[in-house]
Amino acid sequence: MNVIFIEPSFPANQAQFVRALHEVGATVIGVGEYPKENLTDDLKRQLTHYEQVPSVVNEEALRHAVKWIQGRVWVDRLEATVEAHIMSAARVRESCTIPGTSVRTAYLCRDKPAMKEVLREAGIPCAQSTAASSAEEVRAFAAQVGFPLILKPRDAAGASGTHKVDNAEELEAAIRVTGVDRGAGLAVEEFIEGHEGFYDTIAVNGEVVHEFVSHYYPNVLEAMRTRWISPQFIATNRLDSVADYGELKDMGRRVIKALGIGTSANHMEWFYGPKGLKFSEIGCRPPGVRAWDLYGAGNDMDIYREWAMAVVHGHPGSKASRRFAAGLIALRPDRDGQIAGYEGLQEIQRKYGEWILDFHLPPEGTSTQGVEAGYMANAWVRMRHPDYDALHGMLDEVGRTVKVRAR
């Protein structure tokens, strides 16, 4: 099978998808923005050809490169695994008649109001929502639904550009900041109270062949706004033994069917609270923040290879062991500036060293990144343990003990 893979060298874990495709027998052709000489030796060995384009989200440039490749070899698949690349890849895929995620599916997985309209029609519980491109539309929705509300870009990922408003005054401030009063498009949603997590799958022809559930502590919006919190997420190993996940699995499968997702990795966010289980949003691509690495570490599998097996051979190569829960905790600097040092590391390594997978500690003098930059923006620790609750407690202790000092 000949597979075109979009942007093989950035971010760094993109190379793992290429490696996996190569290992399961695919002929891999790369299209990316970086010069060929910048590719690693492994990528140069694993790619049979590489085409540089000015931008992989420039559809004309991407289409020209794909057409050039098609003029020389048959192309079976065109794959993209980064959120920002999904739509341009789908349009080029469709215009070049290459199988894979359709433009309709890619659009519905990017545009939050359209996504939820389709899912509500399919009977899937979602927050009340609307698309808005004027202040009047936002105010009308607020009058109908009440507070609190969430305002975010229609194609937002995670908590990027997201505003929670609790009253009319905060609503007016958010209207000004988002630019919706100047015609910017927004998704406006009812705020759903409850615990937040994600449900990630690899599907083949719309059927789930691998599935994983992770939990956020605390919810993402709070985590991305509050410096003192050391947020974490944990992939559970109780997915096959806890009956409560049955409802989530069923909802995830219904979402995949309603959106027409075929053979793809998928990342779905959900809430569970006083109003029951509610769908939040989905991307037809792997999760970010290297969550896949945790799935591999927790389940004795090469998750990238499993994705490649789905794409190339149409079936999984192994079964998830569920041997470990695995999680990540983000460690925030106590202020913006430059890293000055760390406290508490030796204590944690002495106590939990056998359960630590890896960690990232930017060296002294490194410029800090803002709280909103995400879970892996500054320091972080990843761990695993056979008992989910024990792991949660360990990560809590890491957050209380390890201090990142800045100056």
pLDDT tens for 283-332 read: 999 999 999 999 999 999 999 999 999 999 999 999 999 999 999 999 99
Q: Give domain status of residue 108, yes or no.
A: no
Same domain, 230 and 342: yes
Do the beta carbons of residue 384 and residue 324 sit within 8 Å? yes
Vertex 22, ends 328 and 312: CA angle to 5°? Answer: 90
Q: Is the pLDDT of residue 333 over 90?
A: yes
Cβ atoms of 112 and 102 closer than 8 Å: no
164 lies in the same domain as 64: no
Give the residue among 295, 304, 258, 268 at the shortest CA–CA distance from 81: 304
Domain that holds residue 333: 195-406
Q: Note whether 91 and 59 are within 8 A (CB).
A: yes
3-state class of 30 per DSSP? strand
Across the chain, mean pLDDT equals 95
Q: Which of 160, 190, 220 is the last residue of a domain?
A: 190
Average pLDDT over residues 256-262: 98
**Looking at 44-58, 119-133, 147-161, 359-373, which range is the least confident one?**
147-161
- Fill in the amino acid letter for 129: S
Q: What is the 3-state secondary structure (H, E, C) of 306-318?
A: HHHHHHHHCCCCC
pLDDT tens digit sequence for 336-387: 999 999 999 999 999 999 999 999 999 999 999 998 899 999 999 999 999 9
Q: Which two tokens stand for residue 122?
A: 């399919």
Domain assignment of residue 165, yes or no: yes
Give the pLDDT of residue 241. Answer: 73
Residue 268 has pLDDT above 80, yes or no: yes
173 and 34 within one domain: no
The yes-or-no verdict on residue 160 having pLDDT over 90 is no
267 shares a domain with 170: no
Domain CATH for 217: 3.30.470.20
Q: Distance (Å, rounded) from C-alpha 13 to C-alpha 331?
A: 21
Q: What are the structure tokens assigned to 364, written together?
A: 């002294």
In the chain, what percentage of residues exceed pLDDT 90?
A: 87
Angle at 51 between CA 49 and CA 56, to 5 degrees: 135
What is the CATH classification number for the domain harbouring 74? 3.40.50.20
Residue 183, pLDDT above cutoff 90: no
Q: Which two tokens stand for residue 115?
A: 């996504």
Q: Assess whether 327 and 355 both reside in one domain.
A: yes
pLDDT at 3 over 90: yes
Q: Give the CA angle between residues 324, 328, 330 to the nearest 5°.
A: 165
Confidence of residue 224 (pLDDT cuts 50, 70, 90): confident
Could you tell me if residue 282 is inside a domain?
yes
Cα distances (Å, whole numbers) of residue 244 to 238, 343, 388: 10, 39, 15
Same domain for 277 and 233: yes
Residue 18 covered by a domain:
yes
> Who has greater pLDDT, 372 or 406?
406
**237-266 in b/e burial notation, b at 16+ Cβ within 10 A?**
bebeeeeebeebbebbbebbebbbbbbbbb
Taking residues 58-67, report their average pLDDT: 98
Domain match, 254 and 388 both? yes
User: Do residue 258 and residue 321 come from a single domain?
Assistant: yes
Q: Is residue 383 part of a domain?
A: yes
What is the distance between the alpha carbons of residues 204 and 310, in angstroms, rounded to a whole number?
6
Q: Are residues 233 and 292 in the same domain?
A: yes
Above 90 in pLDDT, residue 128?
no
199 in the same domain as 184: no
Give yes or no: residues 272 and 380 share one domain. Answer: yes
Q: pLDDT per residue over 230-242, tens digit each?
A: 999 999 999 987 6
Q: How confident is the model at residue 159 (pLDDT cuts 50, 70, 90)?
A: low
pLDDT tens sequence across 5-59: 999 999 999 999 999 999 999 999 999 999 999 999 999 999 999 999 999 999 9
Indicate whether 206 pLDDT > 90: yes
State the CATH number of the domain containing residue 148: 3.30.1490.20
Cβ within 8 Å of residue 288, ≥6 positions away: 83, 157, 158, 267, 374
Residues 206 and 78 in one domain: no
pLDDT (0 to 100) of residue 157: 61
Closest-CA residue to 378 (of 403, 353, 360) = 360
Domain count, the chain: 3
Q: What angle do CA 403, 406, 407 make, to 5 degrees?
A: 150
